[in-house]
Structure 1
């Protein structure tokens, strides 16, 4: 069993911006690292998402006070989109999918 609060993820938002030539781009902000509990994805949720063409990768629990509505996360050098959140008391669960995995949309 993993030690509680031993995983770290980076949270960031994909902020619209402009490149050097003034063209619109999506430029991610610098991630803010937070300690997390890594949880298992519920099998029902996993298979329902898979039917929609969405591959859920991870589920993390963090403290609500550390979440500011970010839509992206980084974990072990890989970027992920925050597919959904679920607030429960002083904690919030974040369910992540690989960035760009929107086949069901």
Structure 2
């Protein structure tokens, strides 16, 4: 593991929208080092059946992840589709924002 990939984790926080109304808004991006891995083919195909195209899987240290729902990698916004904790590490399975039928 070389931890050579950089992702910016983005949590959602309570704030105000552009008109001053209470709203959930993006928090400040937080840089962490990660290992980019391939999405497992069976998981890719199962998500695809539900209209979601998975794009990346990142492994980060569990103590650096605080439940953020979004991340940015190479300037592209990603949604965290699913997580899988493996002791000291956690896998973040992601899809590009807007690549599902819910967005």
TM-score when normalising by structure 1: 0.88
C-alpha distance in structure 1 between counterparts of 2:18 and 2:96, whole Å: 28
- Distance of aligned partners of 1:51 and 1:16 in 2 relative to their CA distance in 1, 3 Å threshold: same
Q: Quickly say closer, same or farther: Cα 1:23–1:88, change in 2 above 3 A.
A: same
Assess, with a 3 A threshold, how the Cα gap between structure 1 residues 43 and 26 changes in structure 2: closer, same or farther.
Answer: same
Secondary structure, aligned partner of 1:46: helix
In the alignment, is the contact (CA less than 8 A) between 1:52 and 1:104 conserved in 2? no
Matched, 1:23 2:15: no
Instruction: Compute the TM-score of the two structures, normalised by the length of structure 2.
Output: 0.89
Consecutive unaligned residues of structure 1, counting only runs of 5 or more, are: none
The separation in 2 between residues aligned to 1:17 and 1:101, in whole angstroms, is: 26
Equivalent residue in structure 2 for 1:64, among 62, 81, 90: 62
SS in 1 for 2:44: helix
RMSD: 1.8
**Residue 4 of structure 2 aligns with which residue?**
6
